[in-house]
Every structure is written in structure tokens, then in C-alpha cells.
Amino acid sequence: MGFGVDQFLRRQLPGRCAFCLGEADRDRPWCGACFASLPWNLPACPHCAEPLPGRPEARPCGRCLRQPPPFVRSRVPLRYELEVAGLMQRFKFAASPRAGAVLLALFEAGLPGAALSWPQALVPVPLHPRRARERGFDQGEWLARRLACRLALPLVRARRRRDTPTQRGLDRDERRRNLSGAFVIEAALPPRVALVDDVMTTGATLEALAEACRSAGAREVEAWAVARTPLQ
């Protein structure tokens, strides 16, 4: 599959590097120097994408060794910091389509081609209803819809069963309990499904959504997000 700029991206990304505003590489929304200096999430835990700087290679983190998440792997190419955090904030809070297009292009450029051809359907993480009311822009759905189109995959939506209480201040197990059964998927899913979110934090929401996918017939679930926050 690999990275290619389609008409949609071409319209959003006219010739300038999204980071330094210098001249961009041909068919890329960035220059080579900025691209190389981005906070790539390497190495990271293959299961939960927790950044593991200083490790010689990607190995499961201690938490995933004790209790593996319900997805086979996580693919989160960037860390949520520096230029990536700035871009994400413009995308989320200013609903900037250019920022969204750059993030989407970075996600695709940051994954091996084989990874992009693995899933048979994409499931976006539904926005929390309270946040949807406040902001009126669902950035996870925005990314997933365009990615599904580019990869020629069906997009299957999950529904939130109830307005779950806030996750703030809870540890991983409490978050998991808090969210268990929070999502339902009414369609029958193919065996291989990738969840799509913009930022992966603790992964508790993705874990609850993965459970719903398994109940709807998926055998293997991957968690995809553009950027990963380190654990607090």
C-alpha cells in the first residue's frame, strides 16, 4: 500500500512544510529534516505502544506481560509531544483540516505497508457524547473515515451504551472496570479489525472497544492511533 498523496491531501497540503514552512519534499507535506526530527514512538511496547525509550528493541512492557490487553498489537507511530502535540491541538480544537491531513499522512508514512493492509475493517473510537456536545467535531471519526477511504476498507461504527463517568484519577484496572460493556457494535465484523483513534492515552477506551469488537465476531483486533501519550 505505502504512502501516496491522493487528491484530498494534495488540496490540503500545498508545497510547504507543515512544521518549518520551508519548501516541502515532493508529494510530502513536510521537509526531510523536520520529518526526521519528529518524536517517533520507537521503541515502544508492541501491545500497548507505551514508549520505552532507551531500550535496544521493542519488547512487551511489564504491564502487558502481567496482563496483556485484548488487542494483538498497537500501532501508534508518534509520541504526543513537541510538534506532534501542536499539530494535534490545531486539529482537535481548531478543527483544522490541514492539520488533520498532515496527521493522517504521518500515520501512513510511519507504518510499514504490510500493517496498512492487515485489517478488513476499521472501527473509530466514538467521541464521548459530552465532548461531542462541547466541541461538535469528532476527530477520531474524521481520521478513520478518510483512512478507510484511502485503504478501501469498510468503516463500522460502535455505539456508546451509556454516558460513562469520567476516567480522570483512575488507575488502569479501575478505568477498565469503569468502561467494561460501554460499547456495542451491531454489525457483524470480519476476523481482522483495527480500531482508530487520534491519541492513545491509557488504552482503556480502546480495550473496551476491542471487547465489543470481539463480541461482534472479530478474532483479532489492533489498536491504531496517530500519537501516544506516555503514562502519567
Binds Zn ion (CB under 5 A): choice among 61, 127, 148, 189:
61
Of the candidates 183, 206, 214, 227, the one whose C-alpha atom is nearest the C-alpha of residue 69 is 206
Of the candidates 101, 44, 96, 5, the one whose C-alpha atom is nearest the C-alpha of residue 228 is 44
Q: Check binding of 222 to Zn ion (CB under 5 A).
A: no
Exposure string over 126-145, b if 16+ CB within 10 A, otherwise e:
bbbeeeeeeeebbbbbbbbb
Nearer to Zn ion, 31 or 104 (CB): 31
Binds Zn ion (CB under 5 A): choice among 45, 209, 212, 213:
45
Q: Please report how close the Cβ of residue 60 comes to Zn ion at its closest, in angstroms.
A: 6
Classify 16 as helix, strand or coil.
strand
Q: Site residues for Zn ion, window 63-122 (CB under 5 A)?
A: 64
Stretch that binds Zn ion, among 43-51, 129-137, 172-180, 212-220 (CB under 5 A): 43-51
Q: Check binding of 19 to Zn ion (CB under 5 A).
A: yes
Q: Check binding of 176 to Zn ion (CB under 5 A).
A: no
Q: Check binding of 17 to Zn ion (CB under 5 A).
A: yes
CA gap 19, 87 in Å, rounded: 9
Q: Check binding of 50 to Zn ion (CB under 5 A).
A: yes
Of the candidates 158, 154, 152, the one whose C-alpha atom is nearest the C-alpha of residue 179 is 158
Which set of grid coordinates corresponds to residue 97?
A: 483540516
Q: Please report how close the Cβ of residue 221 comes to Zn ion at its closest, in angstroms.
A: 15
Binding site for Zn ion (CB under 5 A): 17, 19-20, 22, 31, 34, 45, 47-48, 50, 61, 64
